[in-house]
Structure 1
Amino acid sequence: MTLSPITPVKPVAPYIGGKMQLAKHVAHRVHEVPHKTYVEPFVGMGGIFFRRTERPKCEVINDVSGDVVTLFRILQRHYPQFLEVLKFQLTSRSEFERLALTDPTTLTDLERAARFLYLQRTSFGGKVEGRTFGVSLRGARFDLSKVVPLLEDVHERLSGVIIENLAYADCIKRYDRPDTLFYLDPPYWACETYYGKGVFSADDFQKLADQLTGIEGRFLMSINDAPEIREVFSSFEMEEVGLNYTVNPKSQKKVQELIISN
């Protein structure tokens, strides 16, 4: 099961739970597992997917969010047209508030992808639910001279990638094979509502654990270290990973995460 080398690229926008600090460690673990198909049922902005340095022949990214999937499909298939839509976009609080109030289902796919990218790049902390306008003293958060090179890299990286818009359980069921490796990045324990109402609940952790018990393939999952998580996934292997998150230049917050696998 040969993996081909690829050049890592940066995600095009911040996203809550973006995995920047954990990426190298998880990518190393992914590359250690022999597989022909790589699947991410909770891809988000691809914090792990885009930072990997090797790929199998078949790659699948999935998210239940229509905004996420529309953005990636547009970047994959309609990249030149997307740049035309973005050409005159400026960073301003009023434009942020206007787009935040716009129902994405009323937009064309190009408009919806542009709206989502703009909101994610200009909101504070990469929030999806309850976005607020983020102020940066380092320049405009939506600067096309900086955004376009990222979009170009992601457009090229998505070549040949299968993009799905399924519930996580349906994605796992559809692509489960003995030679499949799933990387799972579900919402963290006690953070289920951060991605929107009805997207994921505390009950889903047990449902996910039950499904993973019966799969043919292999999986790696990153999650926050909570007693409830350790109990629900107790039948699987667990690796503790310590991280330091910078709250401000003078302080760091130490946290522990788990890499759970079968």
Structure 2
Amino acid sequence: MESTARTPVRPIKPVAPYLGGKRNLARRLVEIIEATPHDRYAEAFVGMGGVFLRRTSRPRFEVINDWSADVANLFRILREHYPQFMEVLRFQITTRHEFDRLSRVDPETLTDLQRAARFLYLQRVAFGGKVTGRNFGMDTGRARFNLSQLEPMLEDLHERLSGVVIERLPFDRFIDRYDGPGTLTFCDPPYWGCETDYGAAMFSPADHARLRDRLAAVQGRFALTINDVPEIRALYADPRFSIEPVGVTYRVSGAPTAARELIITGGG
């Protein structure tokens, strides 16, 4: 019999904005996840953890994944080297000059601690949580990188990551490795038409079909969130998939913009 025993956890907020963050859909996605029996939770495109961190319970096994080296490194550093990371962050200041300087730095030339600090700084300061083509974000009300406000959030995340497995794998290898009876796989891939927003080699238009094929074959269960476009509806037009349209509102600058997204579920 499938185990559904889970431990309550306190939801926490992501420590930085991230393009495609799930603030609008998080409540509905968490409802679906919490209502799905599972004893292993596997998230293939974790980003800044917009869904992972807002869940209210955890099963006996959790694993998060992102093909972004910056994302995977930040979570690993927060879990394993929190005190040292905080010491590095104490020297960061919010200025356009510092933002521009760090934007030009090749992360491959940095230590893991320096790389994590650079990535967190840029995501906190950049306009709209952009990952590529970042611009300095102005906020007349507060400094975007204020360690006295950020430190409690980082400590909460450090504690939440205890016992969590952190991977950096292509999504298909990740799903293959952790799928099985009792596994719930959650996927929040780059949206259709936005594949290069996270970097040129992160995800391709052809990967949408590859992801669909892999999810169709899972032994456990899955939930996927994606934008509502005809191409995605055609990909998942199969009785094996359940499609729930959801209305959302986005506001990066200017007036709010209404949009529709899809929550697709299926599996054994």
TM-score by length of 2: 0.95
Indicate which of 158, 182, 185 corresponds to 1:182: 185
1:47 pairs with 2:47: no
Q: In structure 2, what is the Cα distance between the partners aligned to 1:145 and 1:172?
A: 38
Aligned residue number for residue 135 of structure 1: 138
Q: In structure 2, what is the Cα distance between the partners aligned to 1:210 and 1:21?
A: 27
Aligned residue number for residue 243 of structure 1: 248
Change (3 A) 1:103 1:248: closer
Q: In structure 2, what is the Cα distance between the partners aligned to 1:224 and 1:195?
A: 16
Q: In structure 2, what is the Cα distance between the partners aligned to 1:215 and 1:232?
A: 16
Aligned residue number for residue 120 of structure 1: 123
Partner SS, residue 115 of structure 2 = helix
Aligned residue number for residue 81 of structure 1: 84
Aligned residue number for residue 208 of structure 2: 205
Aligned residue number for residue 67 of structure 1: 70
1:224 pairs with 2:263: no
Q: CA RMSD in A?
A: 1.0
Q: In structure 1, what is the Cα distance between the partners aligned to 2:11 and 2:35?
A: 17
Indicate which of 223, 240, 254 corresponds to 2:258: 254
Aligned residues: 261
Partner SS, residue 256 of structure 2 = strand
Partner SS, residue 39 of structure 1 = strand
Partner SS, residue 180 of structure 2 = coil
Q: In structure 2, what is the Cα distance between the partners aligned to 1:244 and 1:205?
A: 24
Q: In structure 1, what is the Cα distance between the partners aligned to 2:75 and 2:242?
A: 32
Aligned residue number for residue 173 of structure 1: 176
TM-superposition CA deviations, 1:118-147 (whole Å, max 9, x none): 000000100011111111111110000111
Amino acid at match of 1:257: E
Aligned residue number for residue 23 of structure 1: 26
What is the CA-CA distance between 1:212 and the residue it aligns to?
Answer: 1.1
Change (3 A) 1:231 1:31: same
TM-score by length of 1: 0.98
Amino acid at match of 2:250: Y
Q: In structure 2, what is the Cα distance between the partners aligned to 1:234 and 1:104?
A: 41
1:145 pairs with 2:175: no
Q: In structure 2, what is the Cα distance between the partners aligned to 1:85 and 1:247?
A: 30
Aligned residue number for residue 94 of structure 1: 97
The answer to whether the 8 A contact 2:41-2:59 is kept is yes
Q: In structure 2, what is the Cα distance between the partners aligned to 1:167 and 1:184?
A: 12
Partner SS, residue 151 of structure 2 = helix
Q: In structure 1, what is the Cα distance between the partners aligned to 2:159 and 2:5?
A: 21
Partner SS, residue 261 of structure 1 = strand
Q: In structure 1, what is the Cα distance between the partners aligned to 2:106 and 2:138?
A: 24
Amino acid at match of 2:32: R
The answer to whether the 8 A contact 2:103-2:122 is kept is yes
Unaligned regions of 5+ residues in structure 1, if any? none
Q: In structure 2, what is the Cα distance between the partners aligned to 1:165 and 1:31?
A: 25
Partner SS, residue 153 of structure 1 = helix
Q: In structure 1, what is the Cα distance between the partners aligned to 2:69 and 2:253?
A: 34
The answer to whether the 8 A contact 2:78-2:157 is kept is yes
Amino acid at match of 2:103: A
What is the percent sequence identity of the aligned residues? 56
Aligned residue number for residue 159 of structure 2: 156
What is the CA-CA distance between 1:248 and the residue it aligns to?
Answer: 5.5
Q: In structure 1, what is the Cα distance between the partners aligned to 2:244 and 2:131?
A: 29
Aligned residue number for residue 58 of structure 1: 61
Question: Which 4+ runs in 1 deviate beyond 3 A?
Answer: 246-249
